[in-house]
Structure 1
Amino acid sequence: MSSKNSSLSRRSLFGGVATVGAVAAATSVLPTVVKNNLPAAAPALPKPERGGGYSLSEHVQRYYKTTRI
């Protein structure tokens, strides 16, 4: 075997080991990152006693303005 072939296989071996290590580190950290970045649920408004529940909020008014021709 020549030294050129030997160094290429050694280089690819270390590259593969580094890739596996990086993937293992990322997968061990990822679940905690995802859990911490989840948005908190907004507190639910109480349900109206007689049904309904629609309110003409600022967001809804803005939407209606975008649908006008």
Structure 2
Amino acid sequence: MSSPERPQLNRRTVFAGAGTVGALAAAATLLPAARTDTAAVPAADAGQAGQDHGRYQETAHVRQYYQTAKL
């Protein structure tokens, strides 16, 4: 009985596998963060719907900043 031969791993295969694993790890890290960010946006907008429609409002805090930023 002859033993089955195992395929030889070459550098190209190893580096391609390492690159794939790295890309998958990066995607796995970013996807849960993106999912929580998009889920939080509708909840935050629901309270302000109809008030300012996302437009710029000059508040006392903004006026104070512009006063201190003048040269």
TM-score (norm 1): 0.50
Bigger radius of gyration: 1
Higher relative contact order (CA 8 A, sep 6+): 1
TM-score (norm 2): 0.48
